[in-house]
Amino acid sequence: MVNIGIQDCTYDLGVDEAVARAQAAGILVVSIAGNLDLECPPQVYPWTDSPGAHGVTYPGKYQGVITVSGTDVNDTFAAGGTYCPNSTFRDGSRHGPQVTVAAPFWSYGMREGGTWHCGKGTSFAAPAVAGVLALIWTAYPSWPASAVRENLITAAVDMGGNRHDEYRGYGRVSAWRFFSTVPPTVTISGWSAVRNGEQCT
């Protein structure tokens, strides 16, 4: 699996071919939809209605990529806002017909020294989707990439009522929903103790 957290306004043949080769090898490629802070022509930053202002960036526009948009703290599309306390910087998720699923746009983490930091962007959303894909594939390692992708989509929480829209794709990703409907094929037949110095087979 490959997770890509970069955004570009323009098409690149080399990247497109690399993505296609990865997919042909059975690798899932996850990419961000992009953020509104990137100025793509004919955008006039920050808030216009042109496709350059809000449309999905590359590599999220390449064929077959699992493209991820962002949701906010209220579990709605991250259309643009401050999101983080004590921040005046406004940002939001891009959207378009290429969006496959959505995931949380913002995240809290701890900095060195023990202080909290709030970060935002679709670069936080895409790894969450990659993580759910990894969980599914770990539970069903014999599945091809296409089956893992389809089950991710099927388990997504439809947030718009249309099954697919350009803001949240097929919905917000949900590992819980997948595993509550398709339990992993693992059985526990018993237990054994492994003592210090012993090997477990």
Which of the residues in the chain have pLDDT under 70?
42-53, 82-83, 85-90, 183-188, 201
Q: Which pLDDT value is given to residue 188?
A: 66
In this structure, what token pair is assigned to residue 58? Answer: 């590359």
Tally of domains within the chain: 1
CATH number at residue 94: 3.40.50.200
DSSP secondary structure of 42-58: T--SS---SHHHHSPPB
In a domain, 89, yes or no: yes
Q: Which pLDDT value is given to residue 45?
A: 46
In a domain, 9, yes or no: yes
Q: What is the 3-state secondary structure (H, E, C) of 93-128?
A: ECCCCCEEEEEECEEEEECCCCCEEEEECHHHHHHH
In a domain, 191, yes or no: no
Q: Which pLDDT value is given to residue 157?
A: 93
N residues, the chain: 201
In a domain, 104, yes or no: yes
Q: Which pLDDT value is given to residue 152?
A: 96
The whole domain housing 44 covers 2-181
